[in-house]
Chains A and B, each alone.
Chain A
Amino acid sequence: MIGISGIILLVLLGALCALDTVSVLQGMVSRPIVSATLAGAALGRAEDAIVVGAVLELFAIETMPFGASRYPEWGSAGVVAGTTYLVGGAGTAGSLAIATLAGLATALLGSLSMVRHRQLVARVAMILRDSIAAGSGSAVTRLHLYGIVSDFWRGAVVTAIGLALALVFAPRILGSWYLAYGPSAAWPVALAVATAAASIVRSAQGVPRASLFLAGGSAIGLGLVFAR
């Protein structure tokens, strides 16, 4: 059970990670392998939370933040997924599938909220248009700060919604989960591997000899697993 102070901490963490996605730094603190693990660390269980962080990271390899295109927001998503995985009893049947689903759904919600946020900033820019067109430095700064502060709150709201839904529904769903552990954990990982592999093969196709590097790496990876 996570107390109110824990939830506040997680919402703040989600907001900061979401802010890193576009508005401030883009130092990739928003990547799910980081944000999910940080959520786990906040709850004292980083080693468990990184499992779902790694699975979501495989999905994230596919997505690139191109210009005005729509892309998932992994910062808040990782925090929600990491928390869901721990609340669902990390390593139990269904926990990885539910945490991955919670993470992907939050990433989608984050993506939609980013579109709204950009429209909102455009509206404020419209209000300040005459001042900005007249070369006012303070109007430029005001718009910029407004964008950053509102993006922080956007991330906080997305994280809060994701956490609320996950904390309410994940235990109930897992309470009536009948599928065995093996397939329950294998399915989200297989989907993540499919997504990452397609993305890697696609980028390797355009580069001479990259497919050979991929094949060589795969042989070594499988060999290492076999030798374990």
Chain B
Amino acid sequence: MAIERFRIDDRLVHGQVVVGWGQPLSLGFIVLVDDVVADNDWERELYRMGTPPEMELFVETVESAAARMAEFELRPDAGMLLTGDIATMDRLTAAVPAIRTITIGGIHHRQGRSACLSYVFLSESEIAELTVIAARGVSIVAQDLPVSNEVPLDDLLRGRTG
């Protein structure tokens, strides 16, 4: 097995991840990549409490995640890697060329972002970052749950309002 999904989700570890994807994919581990969380005891603790005891949680910086990627890929169980924003995934895909597909699972509203889907809101700078990632040959889709349709990046940007 290996890391089944590389997901961008601003809520990181939450119900859609541990139940919505966790059950059908039988996830055994989650790699949470976030420099701020990795450097902060109470936030690490909070995310650990949100992770089911039967799943292992690794909280990594971009650099440490890139260094441990081969180890994660060799694990016998299925895993999911999460970043809370596009910029972090951008740095990770630059450091790990083996990442070929990423999924946008949830980027929510904030000042300066406009709606692409009910669970994806993007700013101009984030679109630029996604374009940079796509230019590396990485396929980008949006999908919150397994039962939802996969929306390719082009369709996602076409659906943008405002």
- Give me the interface of A with B, judged by CB distance under 8 Å: 64, 66-70, 115, 118, 202-203, 205-208
Can you spell out 21 A-B residue pairs with CB atoms less than 8 angstroms apart?
A: A64-B15, A64-B20, A66-B15, A66-B20, A66-B144, A67-B11, A67-B119, A68-B108, A68-B118, A68-B119, A69-B119, A69-B144, A69-B145, A70-B118, A70-B148, A115-B118, A202-B24, A206-B23, A206-B26, A206-B54, A208-B54
A64 CA / B11 CA spacing, docked (Å): 18
Nearest residue (CB) in B for A125 is B109
B145 & A207 in contact (Cβ 8 Å cutoff): no
Indicate the member of A66, A67, A70, A202 with the most B CB atoms within 10 Å.
Answer: A67
Nearest residue (CB) in A for B24 is A202
Residues of B within 8 A of A208 (CB): 54
A70 CA / B16 CA spacing, docked (Å): 12
A66 CA / B118 CA spacing, docked (Å): 13
A67-B14, A67-B119, A68-B106 known; A202 and B144 CB under 8 Å? no
Measured CB to CB, the closest approach of chain A to B109, in angstroms, equals 8
Nearest residue (CB) in B for A199 is B23
A206 & B22 in contact (Cβ 8 Å cutoff): yes
A118 CA / B117 CA spacing, docked (Å): 13
B16 & A67 in contact (Cβ 8 Å cutoff): yes
Measured CB to CB, the closest approach of chain A to B8, in angstroms, equals 15
Residues of B within 8 A of A202 (CB): 23-24
A69 & B148 in contact (Cβ 8 Å cutoff): yes
B54 & A207 in contact (Cβ 8 Å cutoff): yes
Which bucket holds chain B's interface residue count? 10 to 19
Residues of A within 8 A of B19 (CB): 64, 66
A69 & B20 in contact (Cβ 8 Å cutoff): yes
Q: Is the interface of A mostly helix, strand, loop or mixed?
A: loop
The 3 nearest A-B residue pairs measured at CB:
A68-B119, A202-B23, A68-B118
- Give me the interface of B with A, judged by CB distance under 8 Å: 11, 14-16, 19-20, 22-24, 26, 52, 54, 106, 108, 118-119, 144-145, 148
Measured CB to CB, the closest approach of chain B to A208, in angstroms, equals 8
Residues of B within 8 A of A66 (CB): 15-16, 19-20, 144-145
Residues of A within 8 A of B26 (CB): 205-206
Measured CB to CB, the closest approach of chain A to B120, in angstroms, equals 10
A118-B118, A206-B54, A207-B54 known; A67 and B24 CB under 8 Å? no
Given A67-B11, A68-B119, 19 extra CB contacts under 8 A: A64-B20, A66-B144, A67-B119, A68-B106, A68-B108, A68-B144, A69-B16, A69-B148, A70-B148, A202-B24, A203-B23, A205-B23, A206-B22, A206-B23, A206-B26, A206-B52, A206-B54, A207-B54, A208-B54
Indicate the member of B11, B23, B24, B54 with the most A CB atoms within 10 Å.
Answer: B23
A203 CA / B18 CA spacing, docked (Å): 11
Measured CB to CB, the closest approach of chain A to B142, in angstroms, equals 12
Nearest residue (CB) in A for B14 is A67
Residues of A within 8 A of B14 (CB): 67
Nearest residue (CB) in A for B111 is A133
Nearest residue (CB) in B for A65 is B15
Nearest residue (CB) in B for A204 is B23
